[in-house]
Amino acid sequence: MIKHYVLSINPHPEYEWDRHNLRDPLSGQRPDLAALVAAEIEKIPGSYLVSVNLEVTVLEQAPVSKSELAKPELSLPGQTSEAKLKQVEKLAV
């Protein structure tokens, strides 16, 4: 079985689970890998010890902008950089 997915790697995700994102290129849905394996054994009830071979071939890589690679800054509108620093220090304590 050959499946194609889009892998997105975010170096600075808002949440850790969004660091590596695997999606179906047509539907945008996250693949249910367990369901794919179950489909290969025809969903016959029971418990199985399975071996899954994963071969990854990069077909295309989209360019990444420099802004996506840069670590996002904490932005507090209407404050000078000194005031922002003080606010961040308060939050860290």
- CB within 8 A of 31, min separation 6: which ones? 3, 5, 22, 23, 24
Mean pLDDT (the chain) is: 80
What is the Cα–Cα distance from 56 to 75, expressed in whole angstroms?
A: 38
What is the Cα–Cα distance from 28 to 9, expressed in whole angstroms?
A: 15
Q: Which residues of the chain form beta strands (DSSP E)?
A: 6-9, 20-23
75 pLDDT more than 60: no
pTM of the model: 0.57
Average pLDDT value for residue range 63-75? 64
pLDDT in tens, 13-43: 889 988 899 999 999 999 998 888 888 888 7
